[in-house]
Each structure stands twice: as C-alpha cells, then as structure tokens.
Amino acid sequence: MAGLPKPAEVLPHREPFLLLTAVTELDASGSAKGYWTLTGEEPFFAGHFPGRPTLPGVLMIESIAQLGAYAVLSNPAAAGKLPLFGGVDGVRFRRQVVPGDTLLLEVELGRLSARAGRGSGKASVDGELACSADLLFVLADADAVT
C-alpha cells in the first residue's frame, strides 16, 4: 500500500520515544510491516553497553508494539482511542541488534474488541529473527489519558 501516513501522523509517540521509522504495508486484516533504522546516535547506546552498543530488548518489544498500535489506530473503529500495553507473552530474543541495523517489523492483530485486543509480532535484521512476542493491549479513551 503506497502513500501510508508517517508514524508520527498516526501514533501519539514523539521523539525520543518514537521507535518506528516507517510503515511499509498495512492491510484491513490488521497485519502491518515497517521498520526502525538505528543510526547509532540514539542515546541509550552510550550506556547499553559501553564498548559494545546493543539495542535493549524492551525497546525491540516497544517498536513491535508501536507498529501494532499503528495498525489498530488505522482502523476507523479505534478513533479516539489509545492502545496501551496490557501484557506481553512468549517473548524470545534471538539476535543482538547494533547501531546501523535496520529492524524489520511485522505484526498480526488477532482479536480486537472495543476495549482490548491481541497481536503477535516479530523483529528481524537481514532475514534473521531478533525478537518475537505476543502482545495484549487495552484501548483507553485518548482524551482521558494525561
């Protein structure tokens, strides 16, 4: 699907916590693909770990979740809602991710109700799986969140 909105046009996240560079595919079934390009200038690399910069695993999960939130918020039924983490299951880390890598992201949304949903996602680099997780989320009213 060409011409998809930029992540900042759909998500409420902003720098330095917008962990999604672009969305490349989105379909009505709730699947999406995108990526996060790691420049090496991200401040967390300086401390995680000095001399061997490594993307923190929790940020990989967050980037997958942001792609999932993009898919949810692209559905007109979610207008005025804000997807929030409800839980993460089955997380597996398989590969170190370092500065200069592009994290390719994929999500598949499962059950989605007016109040909550599920999805699964994965992140890979150069065709090699880096992380996979099952996500649970709740939908809050966006204007009620401060």
Whether 48 is a known active-site residue: answer yes
Find out whether 109 and 119 touch, Cβ atoms under 8 Å: yes
Candidates 18, 48, 56, 120; catalytic one: 48
The Cα angle at residue 146 between residues 114 and 43, in degrees rounded to 5: 105
Catalytic site positions: 48
